[in-house]
Chains A and B, each alone.
Chain A
Amino acid sequence: MTQQDDDLDDLFAAAAVNPARPSDALIARILADADALLSRPASPAPRPGWFATLADWFGGGMSLAGMSAAALTGLYLGIAQPVPLTGLTELVTGTAALDSLDLMPSNGALWAQE
């Protein structure tokens, strides 16, 4: 510690105990700002977009995603007509020839080989 430091610390101490005071006008302006913000009505919530509205109708975004996936899968099956489903489709729509549908395949072929 030097005399120089002591002198400087004395100056700092004197400055600390004699703070400048804000004017009454400044305090009034600050409080007016605070009151103005308090009295300002809360801004209305932004309107939800069409997608959010649609999602709400179906119980949220996850439900809408599930329904979309199911719809796309159905569309694919309808267009592609995979072979394993063709028989089932004909059965459901009544266009299948029932005598040609082998619901219980015969095991006769196995015996014939012996």
Chain B
Amino acid sequence: MPRDTLADVSDETLLVLYANGDAEASRLLTTRLAPRIFGYALRLLADRAEAEDVTQETMLRLWQQAPKWRSGEAQVSTWAYRVVTNLCTDLRRARMRRPAVTLDDAPEVADGTKSALARIIEGDRMTALQTALSQLPDRQRQAVVLRHIEGMTNPQIGQIMEIGVEAVESLTARGKRTLAALLAGQQQEIGYDGSQEDEA
């Protein structure tokens, strides 16, 4: 089907079209989804190569899921974010179990500011934010990124993380508090005030 005709079609319809053999539908779906889930994976992992692997694996699972996709059960994007969340959690757990055995690994662990992420996100503020995000517990980081950077609603986040809305609110609130405390120590470098005197 021509690309112009598909522009207004929903993600779910594109997936069904792909399952029926429409290669153009997969191109459009990739254009829509891949940048979003790659950005999300990069925020969670702070490693470009791993984020690319997670993105590719998520999209591969989507293509495999296409013929079995059950209409109306979940949005395609919500499903994809859930897969990314789970893959990133598994990767981070594996990373914690894996000792740094090569010389290449050591500097990255020792100095987060020289990670691959630092080369792709310009500016000290973004680097500082990413460094602080990386220090949050997994679930808090996922909730904060989905809420405040991906711009999702609490019910959407609840579907992705498979928890209730109240749990989402709790995770984002605790995550923001921890982030604020972490960033307060870097206020000089990033222009972050961090004071709590101006209560509204």
Residues of chain A touching chain B, judged by Cβ–Cβ distance below 8 Å, are 1-5, 7-9, 11-12, 14-16, 18-23, 26-27, 29-31, 33-35, 37-38
Looking at chain B's contact residues, the main secondary structure is helix
Residues in A neighbouring B197, C-beta threshold 8 A: 2-3
B198–A30 CB distance below 8 A: no
**On chain B, which size bracket covers the interface?**
35 or more
Closest A residue, CB atoms, query B18: A34
Q: Known pairs A9-B148, A18-B122; list 6 more (Cβ under 8 Å).
A: A3-B195, A11-B126, A16-B151, A26-B34, A26-B56, A30-B30
Task: Provide 5 A-B residue pairs closer than 8 Å at the C-beta atoms, listed in order of the A residue.
Answer: A7-B193, A9-B148, A11-B125, A16-B149, A34-B26
Using Cβ atoms and an 8 Å threshold, which residues of chain B touch A2? 195-200
Task: Type the 1/0 row for B119-155, where 1 means its CB is closer than 8 Å to any CB of A.
Answer: 0111001100100000000000000000011110000
* B21, B48, B63, B64 pick with most chain A CB within 10 angstroms: B63
Partner of B52, one of A18, A22, A34, A37: A22
B residues 42-65 in Cβ contact with A at 8 Å: 42-43, 48, 51-52, 55-56, 59-60, 63-64
The verdict on B185 contacting chain A, using a C-beta distance below 8 Å, is no
- A30/B35 contact (C-beta < 8 A), A2-B198, A9-B148 known: no
Q: Tell which of A11, A16, A18 touches B192, judged by Cβ atoms closer than 8 Å.
A: A11
| In the complex with contacts A23-B52, A34-B30, A38-B18, A18-B121 CB distance below 8 A | yes
The chain B residues found within 8 Å of chain A, CB to CB, are 18, 21, 23, 26-27, 30, 34-36, 38-39, 42-43, 48, 51-52, 55-56, 59-60, 63-64, 120-122, 125-126, 129, 148-151, 176, 179-180, 183-184, 190, 192-200
In the bound assembly, the distance between CA atoms of A37 and B56 in angstroms comes to: 14
Min C-beta distance of A12 to chain B, whole Å: 4
Q: Are B64 and A15 in contact (CB under 8 A)?
A: no
Distance in angstroms between the alpha carbons of A9 and B151 in the assembled complex: 12
Shortest beta-carbon contacts, A-B, top 9: A34-B26, A1-B200, A12-B148, A22-B38, A19-B39, A3-B198, A30-B59, A33-B60, A37-B63
Name the one of B21, B148, B149, B192 contacting A7, with C-beta atoms under 8 angstroms.
Answer: B192
Among B34, B36, B43, B196, point to the contact of A3 (Cβ < 8 A).
B196
- Considering the complex, give the chain B residue whose CB is closest to the CB of A23: B52
Q: Contacts A14-B125, A31-B30, A37-B64; is A8 near B39 (CB within 8 Å)?
A: no
Q: How far is the CB of B64 from chain A (nearest CB, A)?
A: 7
Complex formed: what's the CA distance from A27 to B30 in Å?
Answer: 7
A14-B126 CB under 8 A given contacts A7-B192, A8-B179, A9-B148: yes
**CB within 8 Å for A33 and B129 given contacts A1-B200, A2-B199, A8-B180:** no
Given contacts A2-B196, A3-B193, contact A21 B149 (CB under 8 A): no
